[in-house]
Chains A and B, each alone.
Chain A
Amino acid sequence: MTTTPTPGPASDPTPGSFSGPAPGSVSGPATVTAVDLSLRFGGTRALDGVSLRLGRGVTGLLGPNGAGKTTLLRVLATAVPPDGGRFTALGHDPGTASGRLALRRTLGYLPQNPGFHPDFTAFDFVDYVAILKELTDRAARLREVRRVLDAVDLSDVRGRRLKRLSGGMRQRVALAAALLGEPGFLVLDEPTVGLDPEQRMRFRELIAQAGEGRTVLLSTHQTEDVAMLCHRVIVLAGGRVRFEGTPAELTARAAGRVWSATHRDPSALAGWRTGAGTFRNVGEPPEGADLVEPTLEDGYLLVLDGESAEAAA
């Protein structure tokens, strides 16, 4: 794997929003280690020998629909046990009852579709999750609920019913619930889906703050999320890890394989008209092509293309 950083517009973290260790290998000891995880649903192999290592900071999990991202997150969050393989998180082995309980006590999980009791207020809902997280002392619990609602900037609407909140606000309520008890391992499943650009930026700031000193695994469709937030990125496709490295390394996969032209090159893996009116082509460039700086998305496309070619072979 090349380590040559190839900065591009999408691979540059937005100043002020980047958090966690500098791009590079997993800094410090790995906090989460998975070896050969597998899981089947009927005849579908959702996870097929997934091995990975996570450290502190935000790690992005990219992959197309059906790649196995949600399944992997559910396994790591102890919602579903794997059929094969094992993992440890923060020193706990969820394969044992005591290890599973210990991990759950230090886990924050934001599912892809966090369900809400519509009649609950934002405060009620977070309070309910706090009770599930064993915060039974009322005074301490109320303080903690207020703390996490403050952290996601929802203090003003804490008494409003969830059904009256916008989608972005509800996602922030769910993030607040995930942050209860200062979890050491935060698992976030596509938290920015369905949010408008302003809400997405707000959410990225929150995730960046949450990533300080914690291990965060962020599943997303948005390469911008990874470029702006993550010091590591994993690409999952067909239930297998296709890439694991830094965003710069993923971007470098596309070095010399992105070119500009006046037309969509039929030999290109992908090509589209840019705002400038020229076509951006990704693939194997023809002789004398006008090469341009690659982005993280280009690298991601090429990794997925490699996976498609492998599947076809």
Chain B
Amino acid sequence: MTWHVAEEDLRAYAQGALAPPLLWSADTHLTGCARCRARLAEAADPVALDAAWERLDAELDAPRPSLLERLLVRLGVADHTARLLAATPVLRRSWLLSVLFLLAMTVLAVRLADQPALFLALAPLLPLAGVALSYGPSLDPTYEMAVVAPTHGFRLLMIRTVAVLTAGLAFNGLATLALPGYGLLALAWLLPALAITATGLALTARLGPVVGPSLVGIAWVAVLAVARAQTHPHDTLAPFTTAGQCAAATVAVLAGLLLHRTRDRFDTRPLGGFPADGVG
């Protein structure tokens, strides 16, 4: 043994006050270190010690958390929230790698064609798609169990949205760094991304997780097509000008308000119905 649990941590452990990830480290260490177990027995009163042993016993049964969960806990996310996020389909490694690949290809195309609009058009769609696919019956296999659970559906949606948005925006940010020649213009995807993601979520409450975001995605492409038709090939498209950015910010705020007003709908009825909907 090259280390032992610190006295202070040992006392916190005995009182049930030690938080992950220190708690996990202590659990793992105590199972293999007789010396620290003896110190624990001395440091704790009998009642607290029984509780600690019971907790350790239960902890031993729990499988090791996934890499994503461990990372989230290290970043300060509560362990139960990390578990909820680990069940988000679009936070799986395969999805994240697909998004990275798509962004890499787009950055390459922008560099070859000298057309930043390619990236600016695609980047807002990725968070929208990620959020749309993170909650709902089509991709979440446990959706039916989640719907009848006391955890509010809107809360679960928001937890996953924040995580997916953070990941999506971080990826887009990395892609932006790969396009240094375009200055602030390369960041003009951010406000449209927030606007169409918030609008997609707001419509999800009424139209379901497929139709709502799909309509918003189509509308975004239509706006870009119209802007392209009305703009000189070397000028910046309207959505990425100052006026366009102000409009996107306004849409994001309004959609956020609408989403908040419709939050109870996420709790009262299944979004878009269950996959095998019918008489049953």
Contact = CB atoms under 8 A, between A and B. Distances in A.
B280 A131 contact: no
Contacts of A79: 144, 147-148, 270, 274
A138 B58 CA distance: 10
A251 interface: no
Given A77-B148, A115-B140, A128-B83, A239 B269 contact: no
Given A79-B270, A80-B269, A131-B83, A239 B148 contact: no
B78 A132 contact: no
A118 to B, nearest CB: 8
Contacts of B83: 124, 127-128, 131
Contact of B280 (A66, A97, A105, A138): A66
Contact of A133 (B66, B86, B150): B150
B56 to A, nearest CB: 9
A109 B148 contact: yes
Contacts of B16: 139
A234 interface: no
B276 to A, nearest CB: 7
Interface residues of B, number: 44
B61 A142 contact: yes
B279 A46 contact: yes
A104 B279 contact: no
Interface stretch (A52-60, A68-76, A257-265, A289-297): A68-76
Interface string B58-98: 11011100100000000000111001101100001000000
Interface in B127-168: 140-151, 156
Nearest to A147: B58
Contacts of A155: 61
Nearest to A158: B61
Interface residues of A, number: 54
A202 to B, nearest CB: 22
B115 interface: no
Nearest to B69: A124
A81 B264 CA distance: 13
B20 interface: yes
Nearest to A69: B280
A139 B150 contact: no
Nearest to A187: B148
Given A66-B279, A115-B141, A104 B150 contact: yes
A86 interface: no
B59 A142 contact: yes
A129 interface: yes
Nearest to B58: A142
Contacts of B142: 114-117, 128-129
Interface string A120-136: 11011001110111101
B105 to A, nearest CB: 27
Contacts of B31: none
A81 B273 CA distance: 12
A71 to B, nearest CB: 5
Given A111-B144, A132-B151, A141-B80, A81 B269 contact: yes
Contact of B63 (A97, A104, A114, A123): A123
B133 to A, nearest CB: 14
A120 B80 contact: no
Nearest to B78: A136
B16 to A, nearest CB: 7
A71 B280 contact: yes
Given A79-B148, A104-B150, A117 B54 contact: no
A239 B79 contact: no
B277 to A, nearest CB: 6
Contacts of A100: 267-268
Contacts of B87: 117, 120, 128
B3 to A, nearest CB: 23
Contacts of A74: 144, 274, 280
Interface in B1-56: 16, 20, 23, 51, 54-55
Given A68-B279, A120-B87, A159-B63, A139 B268 contact: no
Contacts of B264: 97
A127 B59 CA distance: 12
B278 interface: yes
A303 interface: no
A109 B279 CA distance: 18
A71 B62 contact: no
13 contacts: A67-B279, A70-B276, A74-B274, A78-B147, A104-B150, A107-B148, A109-B148, A117-B142, A124-B86, A128-B83, A129-B145, A132-B150, A177-B145
Query: Nearest 3 A-B pairs (CB), nearest first?
Result: A70-B280, A115-B141, A132-B149
Interface of A: 41, 44, 46, 66-71, 74, 77-81, 97, 100-101, 104-105, 107, 109, 111-117, 119-121, 123-124, 127-129, 131-134, 136, 138-139, 141-143, 145-146, 155, 158-159, 177, 239
Interface of B: 16, 20, 23, 51, 54-55, 58-59, 61-63, 66, 78-80, 83-84, 86-87, 92, 140-151, 156, 264, 267-270, 274, 276-280
